[in-house]
A and B are shown apart, each in its own frame.
Chain A
Amino acid sequence: MIGAIALLLVCQLGGEVIHRLTGLPLPGSVIGMVLLLAWLAFVPRERLTLTQVTGWLTAHLSIMFVPAAVGVMEEGAILSRHGLGIVVAVAVSTLLTLAVTALVFRAVAGREPEPDDSGEGAS
């Protein structure tokens, strides 16, 4: 358990260090995610606790950003002036992205051969 938490924190720390040293504009936690992917690829073994810890974190993601969401109480001026534009932009963009992503997936996957489930896909 502690090992899994340490691994997450070390990856995030590594991400923050890379972010600061190289000026790479990606957030440190996203760089940390890539570092953890690299770790998973290069150190092959069972990772039951890591899966449990990350599963727990993901399952409770919602409460972690409540304090930040409460911060909109300080943005009243911006929301009353630009709220309409924001709502229209978010609504149109969400629908458009849904349609484009699904249509592109279908257009490209349609030309691919059907997945062969007897092969390596099952691994």
Chain B
Amino acid sequence: MSGLIATPLLWLAVTLAVFEGADILSRRSGRHPLCHPVLLATPVLIGVLLATKTPYATYAEATQVLGFLLGPAVVGLAVPIWAQRATIRRLAKPLACALLAGAVTAIVSAVGIVWLFGAPAEIIASIAPRATTTPVGMAVASQLGGIPALAAVIVLMSGVIGAMTATPLLSLLKIRDYRARGFAVGVSAHGFGAARAFQVDQTAGAFASLGMALNAVATATILSIVASLI
């Protein structure tokens, strides 16, 4: 019986079952950002591990296959970028300027503020890619000497905050163009922002997906260049 505890079977089954439960609750909430399945499932799983005195290393090894899929998923982001090539060509100048401004703002403001709070280097490295989609943020953070788990949580927080504040903030700034609104929420709040944008407007959703995919490349590139200079 105790032999089961170390197999992938047990923890994969538990993870998928807890996630499915969280996903049902999230659907019932009308996909509210605060009810994102990851936000609901993660504390439950931590509770299960603590209650059963299972070390995180055991759990991480058993559920490796889920993390493995992140690699091909990131590669696959090329497909939506390619599908929008006509839009990218037509709006090359505003997209490029907004992307660059957004990526730099996200990095500099997040890093600057935690630095003012006296955070150590591994936190600075974990927060620098906060606006990218989670798998890219984790990969970039670990390359910069950050903590991937912390980066994952920081990226999730960005998503929740961005998805909840985008509509009131952008209305306050009197930005009515759904292309600008969608692109901004995708650049700043990745997949969470894109999901929120699709609830509001199809054009906003398409531009948010584009913003998410392009910012994954832009932020990873900027941080790589900065890292190689330091």
Give the B-binding residues of A (Cβ under 8 A): 5, 8-9, 11-12, 15, 24-30, 32-37, 40-41, 47, 50-51, 53-55, 57-58, 60-75, 78-79, 82, 84-106, 108-109, 112, 115, 120-123
Contact of B153 among A69, A85, A112, A115 (CB under 8 A): A69
How many B residues are at the interface, by size bracket? 35 or more
Contact of A89 among B72, B80, B114, B143 (CB under 8 A): B114
Q: Would you give the shortest CB distance from A3 to chain B, in whole angstroms?
A: 13
With contacts A12-B75, A32-B71 taken as known, whether A26 is within 8 angstroms of B187 at the C-beta atoms is: no
Interface residues of B in 164-189 (CB under 8 A from A): 165-166, 169-170, 173, 175, 177, 179-181, 183-185, 187-189
Q: Tell me whether B86 and A75 are in contact (CB under 8 A).
A: no
Q: Tell me whether B97 and A105 are in contact (CB under 8 A).
A: yes
Across the interface, which residues of B come within 8 angstroms of A108, CB to CB?
Answer: 93-94, 97-98
With contacts A25-B143, A94-B162, A112-B94 taken as known, whether A86 is within 8 angstroms of B102 at the C-beta atoms is: no
Main secondary structure of the interface of A (DSSP, over half): helix
Measured between alpha carbons, how far is A121 from B120 in the docked complex, in Å? 48
Q: Does B35 contact A (CB under 8 A)?
A: no
Measured between alpha carbons, how far is A106 from B138 in the docked complex, in Å? 31
Across the interface, which residues of B come within 8 angstroms of A58, CB to CB?
Answer: 73, 76-77, 80
With contacts A98-B166, A104-B101 taken as known, whether A90 is within 8 angstroms of B130 at the C-beta atoms is: yes
Q: Which residue of A lies closest to B113 (CB)?
A: A89
Across the interface, which residues of B come within 8 angstroms of A32, CB to CB?
Answer: 71, 74-75
Across the interface, which residues of B come within 8 angstroms of A47, CB to CB?
Answer: 79
Give me 23 A-to-B residue pairs in the complex whose CB atoms sit less than 8 angstroms apart, sorted by A's number: A9-B72, A26-B221, A27-B140, A29-B75, A29-B135, A51-B83, A54-B76, A58-B77, A58-B80, A62-B19, A68-B152, A69-B156, A71-B152, A72-B42, A72-B149, A73-B56, A85-B116, A98-B162, A98-B184, A99-B169, A101-B180, A104-B94, A115-B90
